[in-house]
Amino acid sequence: MKKTNYIYFASTNKNKLDEIKSILQSYKSKKINSIKIKAAPKWFQVNENGKTFLKNAYIKASFLSKKLNTIAFAEDSGIEVSALNGKPGIKSARFFNSGKGMLKIINELTGKKNRKCCFTAALVVTDEKGKIVFQTQKSWHGTVNLKPIGNNGFGYDPIFLIPKLNKTSAQISQKLKNKLSHRGQVARDLAKWLKDYNLHI
């Protein structure tokens, strides 16, 4: 693999990039802090037609790796609701529809006792030829709140209730969210991998 001191993030989602950067920067490691995370070019767009989070992450990372002839990583995530047979799952971003998707989930759970759900995130790193060199997948379990609450975070955070805290992930600090969340878990896995792999020239 071509060695660099940077890694591309195969996404145009600034919120995801900011979260991952903040988690990596929290590590007291000169090596990790010296690695630059570059956002995907504005033209980046790919058909995410995989049937799993890992497959979609691979599609995004490998496409950008081969296009730019460099190392890249991608994250694919979504909310899975037990009573809805795991939906919206990999279609979470499209289902969200400017927040209408949250209300749709709440409506579909009316009268149902099972409100369990989880956020799942998959992260894949590929080399300049598009080959997988690292991958991980983690989940964060909670329940669907009765209504959206909170102004922090993004996406489905306002309806994701953390039972132990009795707060949604939109009501907690970014620091605590990074510690608990699905994205925080895969980002920490990435950090551990970066510590062992020599990206530098």
Q: Which amino acid is at 90?
A: I
Closest CA to 123 of 131, 111, 132: 132
- C-beta atoms surrounding 150 within 10 Å: 16
Catalytic-role residue among 76, 157, 189, 196: 76
Catalytic annotation on 76?
yes
Determine if residue 28 is left, alpha or beta; phi over 0 gives left, psi from -120 to 50 gives alpha, anything else beta: beta
The CA distance from 130 to 92, in Å, is: 25
Active site residues: 76
